[in-house]
Amino acid sequence: MEEISLKTIATRLGISISTVSRALRNHPDIKDSTKKAVFELAEQLEYEPNQLAAQLLNRRSNTIGVLVPKITYSLYAQAIPGMAEVAERYGYQLLICQTDDSYEKEIRQVQSLLSSRVSGIILSLSANTTQFDHLRKIQSKKVPLVLFNRDCEEIACSKVIIDNHKAAYEAVRVLIRKGRQRIAYLGGPTHLQISQKRLEGYRQALRDAGVPPDETLIKVVSLEKDAMLASLNEVLDAPERPDAILAYSDQIAQWGLVMAKRKGIRIPDELAIIGFYNEPANELLDPPLSSVAQPAFEMGVRAVELVFSELNNARFTFDRVVLESTLVVRESI
């Protein structure tokens, strides 16, 4: 029986082998009619690509590496299916790594992905990443790099984010319109750009409303549970307690809501709370938690599309995709 190859398909259709190869990879330079003919004939002939040979030839696998702090975080759990949907369309698969917000683990996993000859890397920085040589190494290997959600200005690459300044600004403006004056910001690690941008938005909203920012109401909250609970206790037990909280994450906001209720603080009468990421559990709290929702699935889709744009275009220029967030108002404010 004849072994079906790219040459077989090319000969039958009267086109070049390279055209068949690019059509099967859904290359944008190939006409849709040609792609359709190639795919139909490949299916008819039951063509099975020799993945190993292709990898050895191209020195790349049909795999995209994805590094996230925690797969269980709602944003990443929703973004990964979006990535997988686009990757599968191109005949690729994902290799997903969890850094546990560890800089050291992030470095090791980047090296492992490069050793596996992935075709691209999509990454959301760990909370403890302050040096970026491992990201520069990715780029030195000519491997497309896309950052999403957690951004950094030190690396020039494609990025998929929301406007964190605007999101925090609008959330604080809502609290002010509801009569809140002592609004606390419980932020994440200060070196994370998204935490910096949210703090800037918080400050700007207060200034625009004629409310001088009170530095005692601004706290850096660890993402580790025990330290987080200690910070929340400090805020909720303060002699001059805030009447509203904007939290860096839903995790902080959820624990703030639970602990406030345990202390007999009425929500939202005495304390309003807004989080970030709009995790599904927010609706199950009593009262349900208000939160800034990010288009996580679309972030995943756009991140993978940027990888393929760079792979398929020699003249590709880095793109910065800024998606819209939405404040989901519930009974916590």
How does DSSP assign 57-75, residue by residue? HHT--SEEEEEES-TTSHH
**Which residues does residue 160 pair with via DSSP β-bridges, in sequence order?**
148, 321
Whether 60 shows a pLDDT value over 80: the answer reads no
Q: What are the helix (H) ranges across the chain?
A: 6-13, 17-24, 32-44, 51-58, 74-89, 103-115, 133-140, 164-177, 193-208, 225-236, 250-262, 296-311
Q: Which amino acid is at 116?
A: S
Which residues of the chain does CATH 3.40.50.2300 include? Answer: 57-162+295-325, 164-293
Question: pTM for the complete prediction?
Answer: 0.78
Among positive and negative, which fits the CA dihedral 253, 127, 108, 142? positive
CATH number corresponding to 57-162+295-325: 3.40.50.2300
Whether 205 shows a pLDDT value over 90: the answer reads yes
Which residues of the chain does CATH 1.10.260.40 include? Answer: 6-49
| Predicted local distance difference test score (pLDDT) of residue 278 | 95
* Cβ proximity of 123 and 105 under 8 Å: no
Q: How far is residue 79's CA from residue 297's CA, in Å, rounded to a whole number?
A: 4
Confidence band for 179, pLDDT divided at 50, 70 and 90: very high
Q: How far is residue 273's CA from residue 333's CA, in Å, rounded to a whole number?
A: 6
Whether 200 shows a pLDDT value over 60: the answer reads yes
| Predicted local distance difference test score (pLDDT) of residue 190 | 85
Whether 39 shows a pLDDT value over 90: the answer reads no
C-alpha R_g of the chain: 24
| Predicted local distance difference test score (pLDDT) of residue 76 | 96
Q: Quote the DSSP letter at residue 289.
A: P
Whether 1 shows a pLDDT value over 60: the answer reads no
Q: Quote the DSSP letter at residue 116.
A: T
Q: Could you say which architecture CATH assigns to the domain 164-293?
A: 3-Layer(aba) Sandwich (3.40)
Instruction: Give, in words, the CATH class of 6-49.
Output: mainly alpha
Q: Mean pLDDT across the stretch 189-217?
A: 93
Query: Lowest-pLDDT range, 35-44, 74-83, 128-137?
Result: 35-44
| Predicted local distance difference test score (pLDDT) of residue 50 | 57
What are the two backbone dihedrals, phi and then psi, of residue 158, each rounded to the nearest 5 degrees?
-75, 145
Q: Mean pLDDT across the stretch 198-212?
A: 95
* Cβ proximity of 153 and 187 under 8 Å: no
| Predicted local distance difference test score (pLDDT) of residue 29 | 82
**Exposed (0-12), middle (13-18) or buried (19+): which is 158, by Cβ within 10 Å?**
buried
**Segment 244-289, tens digit of pLDDT:** 999 999 999 999 999 999 999 999 999 999 999 999 999 999 999 9
| Predicted local distance difference test score (pLDDT) of residue 58 | 52
Cβ atoms within 10 Å of 328's Cβ, excluding its own: 16
| Predicted local distance difference test score (pLDDT) of residue 22 | 84
Q: How far is residue 59's CA from residue 80's CA, in Å, rounded to a whole number?
A: 25
| Predicted local distance difference test score (pLDDT) of residue 57 | 47
Q: Quote the DSSP letter at residue 316.
A: -
* Cβ proximity of 58 and 39 under 8 Å: no
Whether 130 shows a pLDDT value over 70: the answer reads yes
**Which residues does residue 293 pair with via DSSP β-bridges, in sequence order?**
326
| Predicted local distance difference test score (pLDDT) of residue 213 | 87
| Predicted local distance difference test score (pLDDT) of residue 49 | 63
Higher-confidence residue of 82 and 55: namely 82
**Segment 216-228, tens digit of pLDDT:** 999 999 888 899 9
